């Protein structure tokens, strides 16, 4: 989106953008294997809190950022968003399994 100059191209990319909706369910699925069964409620509460904070502060941050850079390069806001995802990638790769798979599965 940061380099698209024709509006119709967005419609071609819409199916790709739709894949972004699988992120949170996949994250919840992966994180449930990281804690024991008695901590699942706490984990889901923390995830819900983080999603709520992102829903509050994300639009505020990006609105102010877009307002500040729209005259320079309107597509830069999309590059910033992609950069944030890239910064999170090492965190995701650094997560180590703490609970054996059998214990997480309730066996």
- On whether the CB atoms of residues 32 and 43 are closer than 8 A, the answer is yes
pLDDT in tens, 16-63: 777 777 777 887 888 888 888 899 999 899 989 988 998 999 889 888
Spell out a b/e string for 76-92, using b for 16 or more CB atoms within 10 Å of the CB, else e: ebbeeeeeeeeeeeeee
Distance of CA 23 to the CA centre of its chain: 6
CA–CA separation, 61 vs 50, rounded Å?
15
pTM for this model (two decimals): 0.61
- On whether the CB atoms of residues 46 and 34 are closer than 8 A, the answer is no
């Amino acid at each position: 989106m940061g380099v698209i100059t024709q509006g119709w191209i967005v419609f071609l990319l819409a199916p790709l953008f739709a894949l972004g909706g699988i992120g949170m369910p996949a994250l919840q699925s992966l994180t449930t294997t990281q804690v024991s069964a008695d901590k699942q409620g706490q984990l889901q509460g923390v995830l819900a809190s983080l999603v709520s904070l992102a829903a509050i502060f994300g639009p505020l941050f990006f609105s102010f950022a877009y307002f500040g850079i729209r005259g320079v390069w309107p597509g830069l806001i999309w590059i910033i968003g992609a950069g944030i995802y890239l910064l999170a990638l090492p965190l995701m790769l650094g997560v180590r399994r703490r609970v054996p798979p059998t214990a997480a599965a309730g066996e």
